[in-house]
Amino acid sequence: MLDADFKESLKLAGQLRPNYPLSLGNKTDNLENIIGKLNVNIPEIFSAIYGNISGTKRSIKDQELMDYTPGYRLIHVSEIVEEKNILDSVFVKNDFAEIEVIIPLLVNYSSDYICYCKYSTGEEYICALMHDEGELVLMHKSPKKFLETICELYKQGVYFLDSDGYLDYDSDKEAVVGSKLNPGIEYWG
């Protein structure tokens, strides 16, 4: 289910930047070993992503191919554990005791994260974590909704290339599209 949504997002990203999907590399064969270091079961969204690509390394040379969404790169599979350690140093777990699992999916240059979160109830969410605040902000009520929203933002032209060829977005349109797909979530308001 999530695999098809992720592949659709790559196809849409590739329409703007034809070299982007290839820049993400091949799928990884050692996801179990990597995620195993975090002492959690592999969430479906990680299987969908890393079963198709490896991600973008922090040190990518062609900056035009850095972002999956404007300002955020898909963390390279080899960097997940390191990014998780950084996230853990910022995240104030005491304020979110009901979260069983939190793993970064996307990161920006200043260590702000888009994270997968699994709560003790079994519910899975996608949240933003800004490094200077240490608080989670709900973005999507499911990993599927996260991928659907990204696809729709590409389809609606919310994401576009700026005059230098970098991925950019229209913040007003993003709020409209995001709130329509994620009703009642303050992040999009």
Instruction: Give percent above pLDDT 90 in the chain.
Output: 76
Mean pLDDT along residues 148-154: 98
pLDDT in tens, 165-184: 999 999 999 999 999 999 99
pLDDT confidence of residue 72: 97
Residues 6+ apart with CB under 8 A from 46: 31, 35, 103, 105, 116
pLDDT in tens, 51-109: 999 999 999 999 899 999 999 999 999 999 999 999 888 886 656 678 889 999 999 99
User: CA-to-CA distance for 159 and 19, rounded, in angstroms?
Assistant: 16
Residues 6+ apart with CB under 8 A from 71: 108, 109
State pTM to two decimals. 0.94
For the chain, how long is the longest CA-to-CA vector? 46
